[in-house]
Amino acid sequence: MEAAARTRLLDRLREVVGDRYTLADPYEIRLYQYDSSPETALPDLVVIPASAAEVAAVVKICAEEGCPLVSRAGATGLAGGTVPVFGGVVLAFSRMDRVLELDYENLRAVVEPGLVNLALSNATRPRGYYYVPDPSSQGASTIGGNVATNAGGPHTLLYGVTVNHVTGLELALPSGELVEVGGGRAAETTGYDLTGLVVGSEGTMAVVTKVWVKLTAVPPQSKTLMAIYPDVRSAGNAVSAVVGSGILPAAIEMMDNISIRAIEAAVHAGYPTDAGAVLLLEVDGLPDVVQQLTERMVAICRQHGATEVRVAKDEAERQALWRGRKGAFSAMGRISTDFYVMDGVVPRTRLPELLDQIERISQRSGYRIANVFHAGDGNVHPLVLFDAFQPGQYEEVLKIGDEILKLCADAGGSITGEHGIGLEKRENMRYIFSEDDLAVMDQVRRVFDPDRRMNPGKLFPTDGAEPPRIHAVRGQRAAARGSITGEEPWI
């Protein structure tokens, strides 16, 4: 962006959102070059709007100025989805974080996209309702970000992912026009399901300014049990046996030994550090039913080689078990300076084979790979442990990531179950989609955004054409032998 264009843009944006919430200072905008992925890129300007009307006005100005636009809220994304690799304007949703309406009689909530996921359930639980999707980042990630990536979480096994719980959206289209799509409170509406289409489109179609979500009655009781196994394979067999028994658990999670040790060091969840694998199984429902199902699951776990099965005896113990699982990624800091999170999916029956292959990759490459995953739906999160200060390691780890995703694709799975494609997996899209598949997706995108200005450089393969501003902060760190370097922001 040229200096004159940037100055003009800055002046116009200031008129909409005010000086205080239009950031141009190099020091301030540097904070917006990150999300939770290793890549960074500087925006030209950052705006922090307070309302849908302000968002729409900002989007309209960007359309008139031909400026790229990237929305961000919690910035917990692991795939680089909010890193502004083409510069331009970053729309930060930190001020649009209100619950607009709680309509219990219609089982709906209307919220702004910057609302933190957990804040919604915290607001509704006293009345006996909750918002079901619970990504592990739910204490920091927002409903808007969850909509962008169609976020999942442990409890999606039984209850579905974000798109199953979103009934309507207010969108600022790339032209700046505001439209409400979907039924909202109503069961359905006519026309194409634009709500379902936009959820998971990673900000490449429109900016979400309001979200209608379903509220669900909280189950009277939830019970979590931990089953301890000598190895991952026997734990995997137990998962298949539970699923095959007709029990529908609300969540089935697995962690391997490396993960267990990291978690114990960090959060003391009560996991046995000498176990080869632990399973967390949760059922919910009426107390009688929960009791019966728990007993059945305990028996199945024992039959399939569990050395011990512990049922959380109260809510505190249950929360501790979940704190361990949900804190697994950040716990890796206890055992490695850096880690690279993968998000592959295979059909559940292919899990044992995939885990063997990952183990072989680990042995061959010398990198430790921890496994934390949603075993019930075949969604794996291998964490490749490395040291970014060692030159070359980051690049090698990325290659390992590609290799694992290829294995998932070849097993009939997917390259992302819940984190999204973002920047990270653009090129991997070719593992699962043909030229024709991608062409149709691009056609659809251009109906919304003919100039591809909304979150450019994401989701679609670019065939090696690097976006202008990208650089990996950890790669740079290695190159600089320990000192974080960054480009000077464009001024």
Which residues, numbered 61-80, are part of the site for another protein (CB under 8 A)?
Answer: none
Q: How far is the CB of 64 from another protein (least distance, A)?
A: 19
The burial of 49, by beta-carbon neighbours within 10 Å (0-12 exposed, 13-18 middle, 19 or more buried), is given as buried
Cα 322-309-359 angle, rounded to 5 deg: 70
User: Nearest Cα to 207, choosing from 178, 233, 182, 185?
Assistant: 178
Rounded CA-CA distance 460/140 in Å is: 27
CA distance 416 to 409: 10
Smaller CB separation from another protein, 233 or 445: 445
Q: Compose the 210-249 pattern: x for residues touching another protein by CB under 8 A, - for all others.
A: -------xxxx-------------------x--xx-x-x-
Q: Which of 3, 316, 434, 481 lies at the binding interface for another protein (CB under 8 A)?
A: 434
**285 lies in the site for another protein, by CB under 8 A:** yes
CA–CA gap between residue 447 and residue 432 (Å, rounded): 23
Instruction: Give yes or no for residue 406 binding another protein (CB under 8 A).
Output: no
202 vs 338 by CB, closer to another protein: 202
Give min distance, CB of 59 to another protein, in A. 15
Angle (nearest 5°) at CA 11 between 9 and 12: 65
Binding to another protein, residues 178-197 (CB under 8 A): 179-181, 183-197
Both structure tokens of 334: 């206890």
Stretch binding another protein (CB under 8 A), from 225-233, 282-290, 322-330, 361-369: 282-290
Q: Do 409 and 359 meet the contact criterion of CB atoms below 8 Å apart?
A: no
Stretch that binds another protein, among 70-78, 110-118, 145-153, 396-404 (CB under 8 A): 145-153
Residue choice 362, 418, 454, 474 for contact with another protein (CB under 8 A): 418
Per-residue x/- track, 297-336, another protein (CB under 8 A): ----------------------------------------
What distance in Å separates the CA atoms of residue 40 and residue 259, rounded to the nearest whole number?
27
Pairing state of beta strands 221-229 and 277-285?
Answer: antiparallel
End-to-end CA distance of the chain: 9
The answer to whether residue 258 forms part of the interface with another protein (CB under 8 A) is: no
Among 6, 261, 419, 469, binds another protein (CB under 8 A): 419
Least separation, in Å, of the C-beta of 195 and another protein?
8
C-alpha 65/C-alpha 41 separation (Å) is 21
Nearer to another protein, 423 or 478 (CB): 423
